[in-house]
Amino acid sequence: MADGSTPTQVREVERKYTIPKGQSLPPVTDLPGARAEPAELARLAARYFDTPDLRLLRLGMTLRRREGGPDEGWHLKVPDGGARTEVGLPLDAGDAAHPPEGLTRLLRAVVRGRPLLEVAQIATERRRRRFLDGEGRDVAEVVEDRVRATVDGQAGELRWREIEVEDHSDDGVLAGAIDERLTGAGILPAQSPSKLHHALATAGRPVEPETSDGGHPLRRYLREELANLVLADVGVRREAPGSVHSMRKAARRLRSALQSYGPVLGAAERAAPLVEDLRWLGRRLSEARDVEVQHERALTRIADSPVPHREAVQARLDEFFTQRGATARTLMLETLDSARHVELLDAMEALVGELDGLDKRDGSDGAAPATATPARRPAERRPADLTPRAVARTLRKQARKIDTRVAKVREAASPEERDEAVHRVRKAAKRLRYAIETASPLFPKKAKRALAAFDDLQDMLGEFQDATVARAHLLEGSADQGHSAESSFALGIAYQREVEIAEAQVAELRPEWKRARRRARPLWS
């Protein structure tokens, strides 16, 4: 493990199984294509930390201090697609009762000032067996755990047995064969994603994930995207690939949902400051995202162009984007650590909580009520008012706005005016797409068909936007002093190619929008 200041990061792809009482583990050492190593025994003692309301666990994360085994230390496990990434520090990075700052700084958007307290102690007797391929590479491991857990505030000790199969290969063939052997013997996949989750659920403290299904469509959508925003914040802080993009996308989706349906629910005034804060967040992250995308795009453009002195040009681009990347990351982290960001997350959580409370109080499952209360004023509307008819009105209005903006692209008097008009189409199309996503539980089949068409439209508009931003970067980069005329000439060639790409996208705008509109029209007609 690294020193106390630099966490290690290991991506884990594993499957968990619960062993019924009296069930024996079937033999798995005879599977073809791998050699089983002798079993290794270890005793592990872990202390788990979370906020009083279990914020980490509700987002699929765990934070622990574990003694024993080859990887003892502090571990923060975070969701990573269909897997998890374990961020680790050595035991001496923090004292036994206080998680180290190297991990807690990653969780600022999750805990937001709340204490991290010990919530459970889990002792494990582990039998671990590694599997190697014909070239001696580690391709999988199977661990059989006998677990004893004590939950804070609960009397007694919980006991169970479980199996973890960790896949280290590229194809997952061996892990799949092990799965077949286990399930064939009656050992089924675990219902809980972690030991802590199992212990708390067994002790009478079940944890509902932030992305659970059910309830009102708008509440569910806001809740899921808020969870995605917070998880992406953790990813940005640990420099996970794609996390800046994920965070901006979650912020856009939240903003679009509030803009589209806040007025329908009579909450436009309440939503307005949240919309503005989400827009601010997206803008503060935009430069970091642009640097990620545009650096790779510029290098690809040079590699694909017949330019002289290609290596010198690529080095010039590396220098240009590295400088901007460092500045952009500083601004981004300042934003994530700001009071405004914390207040935004708190306000969004409060709004989602109010919608959640109304769901539970009214027994709503997301369906429209049979009748409305005549005396109810617009400001008092409840989430059940998001009816298919109200959604259709919103979608129709947004589609007409795009019609108007597409027409303005053709009417533009200059290239600059046209580029701005296309950008406005792109923003309106995204808002309509996210509005359809939000309400898709009300008409899933129609929404699925419409969203498929919007994928093509958004790809085309995104390519136009990337080409436009690329031109600005190439123009700025070519103006830097101290570089050869040949490399500036190469950047000019790349610039012209981006002009051609943008023109091609504009030519496709009207037919692509007509196609997407035709697919989406059943949602409001």
Kindly report, residue by residue over 11-38, the tens digit of the pLDDT: 999 999 999 988 888 999 888 888 999 9
What average pLDDT does the chain have?
Answer: 90
- pLDDT for position 357: 61
pTM: 0.90
Other Cβ atoms closer than 10 A to 255: 23
- pLDDT for position 279: 97
Where does 238-338 have alpha helices with state H? 243-261, 268-303, 310-336
CA 253 to each of CA 243, 260, 505: distance values in angstroms, whole numbers, following the listed order: 15, 10, 24
* CA angle in degrees (0–180, nearest 5) for 64-349-62: 10
- Per-residue pLDDT band at 375 (split at 50, 70, 90): very low
- pLDDT for position 266: 72
Where does 69-155 have alpha helices with state H? 101-104, 108-111
Task: Find out whether 170 and 140 touch, Cβ atoms under 8 Å.
Answer: no
CA 343 to each of CA 229, 336, 348, 395: distance values in angstroms, whole numbers, following the listed order: 14, 11, 9, 30
Kindly report, residue by residue over 164-204, the tens digit of the pLDDT: 999 998 888 999 999 999 999 999 999 999 999 999 999 98
- pLDDT for position 372: 34
Q: Which among 122, 226, 139, 123 is positioned nearest to 178, based on CA atoms? A: 139
Report the C-alpha gap between 269 and 53 in whole angstroms. 30
Give percent of the chain with pLDDT exceeding 90: 76
On the question of pLDDT at 145 being above 50, the answer is yes
Q: Is 185 exposed, middle or buried (0-12, 13-18, 19+ CB in 10 A)?
A: middle
Comparing 82-86, 257-261, 332-336, 363-367, which segment has the lowest mean pLDDT? 363-367
Kindly report, residue by residue over 482-521, the tens digit of the pLDDT: 678 888 899 999 999 999 999 999 999 999 999 999 999 9
On the question of pLDDT at 325 being above 60, the answer is yes
On the question of pLDDT at 370 being above 50, the answer is no
Give percent of the chain with pLDDT exceeding 70: 92
Report the pLDDT averaged over residues 455-475.
96
Residue 24 gets which letter from DSSP? Answer: P
Q: Is 518 exposed, middle or buried (0-12, 13-18, 19+ CB in 10 A)?
A: exposed
Report the pLDDT averaged over residues 387-403.
95
Task: Find out whether 480 and 320 touch, Cβ atoms under 8 Å.
Answer: yes
Higher pLDDT, 363 or 56: 56
- Could you tell me which residues are beta bridge partners of residue 129? 142
Kindly report, residue by residue over 99-118, the tens digit of the pLDDT: 999 999 999 999 999 999 99
Taken in order of first residue, the domains within the chain and their CATH numbers are 8-202 (2.40.320.10), 217-366 (1.40.20.10), 389-525 (1.40.20.10)
- pLDDT for position 360: 54
- Per-residue pLDDT band at 376 (split at 50, 70, 90): very low
- pLDDT for position 374: 34
On the question of pLDDT at 120 being above 60, the answer is yes
Tokens read off for 224: 């899921």
- pLDDT for position 110: 98
Kindly report, residue by residue over 421-442, the tens digit of the pLDDT: 999 999 999 999 999 999 999 9
- pLDDT for position 359: 54
Report the pLDDT averaged over residues 209-221.
75
- pLDDT for position 368: 36
**DSSP-assigned states of every residue in 430-485:** HHHHHHHHHHGGGSHHHHHHHHHHHHHHHHHHHHHHHHHHHHHHHHHHHT-SSS-H
On the question of pLDDT at 366 being above 50, the answer is no
Report the pLDDT averaged over residues 402-427.
97
Kindly report, residue by residue over 232-282, the tens digit of the pLDDT: 999 999 999 999 999 999 999 999 999 999 887 777 788 999 999 999 999
Find all residues with CB under 8 Å of 32, minimum gap 6, and list them.
177
Tokens read off for 191: 């219902």
On the question of pLDDT at 63 being above 90, the answer is yes
Task: Find out whether 125 and 145 touch, Cβ atoms under 8 Å.
Answer: yes
Q: Which amino acid is at 2?
A: A
